[in-house]
């Protein structure tokens, strides 16, 4: 089982989301409030709501392991969280999973020069959108293994006929979903295709009202 929930941010249900997290996960709420910007607080709180939606129940507090890797004590699944300007995404799986989401406009030449291999750079020159596909893949692998796979060119990513692979780590399976000039990518050791679900504000609002 691999499920990915994606919430585009159009308008913020700030008060509703923050009130929900404050009641059902006060430790998470305190963590969220440490962010200075209201937008960052919202994204972090919304990620918690998506985890509840993905599990179809309240999931309790998010615990943190080595290097801050998040996990749920009682949900019986692995999780990964990512958020950026206009997207929040979470992944759940019955085995290890890493997820990342990013907007194409956030990947600049500095990132490419520092993190992409020579062969990856060649591919990006032929298809500009691959810069965000490759970046999210590197981040997702980093989250899967809880190690740094993105600040230097350790991967050797290829993208052919819609299939994303890392030829340097063949035991890793990568799946990507493009949306709103951005990309969501998962990394795992299972070939199973994740199910990607776009969550609307109406669904979020309905879930919050249910509880």
pTM score above 0.75: yes
Beta strand pairing call for 182-188 and 78-83: unpaired
Contact residues for 69 (Cβ-Cβ < 8 A; gap 6+): 143, 146
User: What is the average per-residue pLDDT within 34-51?
Assistant: 95
Distance of CA 165 to the CA centre of its chain: 18
Contact residues for 180 (Cβ-Cβ < 8 A; gap 6+): 8, 86, 87, 103
Give the best-scoring range by mean pLDDT among 73-77, 147-151, 156-160.
156-160
Task: Give the C-alpha separation, 144 to 154, whole Å.
Answer: 15
Task: Give the C-alpha separation, 80 to 31, whole Å.
Answer: 17
Buried b (16+ CB within 10 A) or exposed e, 64-97: eeeeebbebeebebbbbbbbbebbbbbbbbeebb
Q: What is the pLDDT of residues 46-100, one digit of tens each?
A: 999 999 999 989 999 988 877 778 888 877 789 999 999 889 999 999 999 999 9
User: What is the average per-residue pLDDT within 148-172?
Assistant: 88
**Above pLDDT 70, what percent of the chain?**
98
Q: Which uninterrupted H or E stretch holds 113?
A: helix 109-115
- Average pLDDT value over all residues in the chain: 92
Task: Give the C-alpha separation, 151 to 107, whole Å.
Answer: 13
pLDDT at 152 over 80: no
User: What is the average per-residue pLDDT within 27-52?
Assistant: 95
Structure tokens, 175: 């799946």
pLDDT at 168 over 80: yes
Q: What is the pLDDT of residues 4-13, one digit of tens each?
A: 999 998 778 9
What structural domains does the chain harbor? Answer: 2-210 (3.90.470.20)
Higher pLDDT, 69 or 119: 119
Direct distance between the N- and C-terminal alpha carbons of the chain, in angstroms, rounded to an integer: 26
- What is residue 19's predicted lDDT score, i.e. its pLDDT? 96
Q: Identify whether the C-beta of residue 142 lies closer than 8 Å to the C-beta of residue 148.
A: yes
- What is residue 79's predicted lDDT score, i.e. its pLDDT? 94
């Amino acid at each position: 089982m691999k499920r990915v929930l994606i919430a585009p941010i159009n308008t913020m249900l700030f008060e509703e989301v923050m009130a929900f997290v404050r009641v059902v996960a006060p430790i998470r709420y305190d963590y969220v409030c440490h962010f200075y910007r209201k937008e960052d607080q919202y994204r972090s709180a919304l990620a918690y709501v998506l985890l509840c939606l993905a599990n179809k129940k309240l999931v309790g507090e998010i615990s943190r392991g080595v290097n801050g890797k998040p996990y749920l004590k009682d949900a019986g699944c692995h999780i990964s969280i990512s958020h950026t300007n206009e997207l929040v995404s979470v992944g759940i799986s019955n085995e290890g999973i890493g997820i990342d989401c990013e907007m194409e406009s956030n990947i600049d030449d500095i990132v490419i020069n520092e993190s992409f291999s020579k062969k990856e750079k060649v591919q990006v020159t032929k298809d500009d959108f691959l810069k965000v596909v490759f970046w999210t893949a590197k981040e997702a692998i980093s989250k899967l293994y809880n190690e740094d796979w993105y600040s230097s060119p350790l991967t050797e990513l290829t993208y052919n006929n819609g299939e994303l692979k890392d030829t340097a780590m063949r035991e890793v399976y990568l799946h990507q979903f493009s949306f709103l000039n951005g990309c969501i990518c998962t990394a795992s050791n299972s070939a199973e295709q994740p199910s990607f679900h776009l969550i609307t504000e109406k669904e979020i609002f309905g879930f919050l009202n249910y509880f």
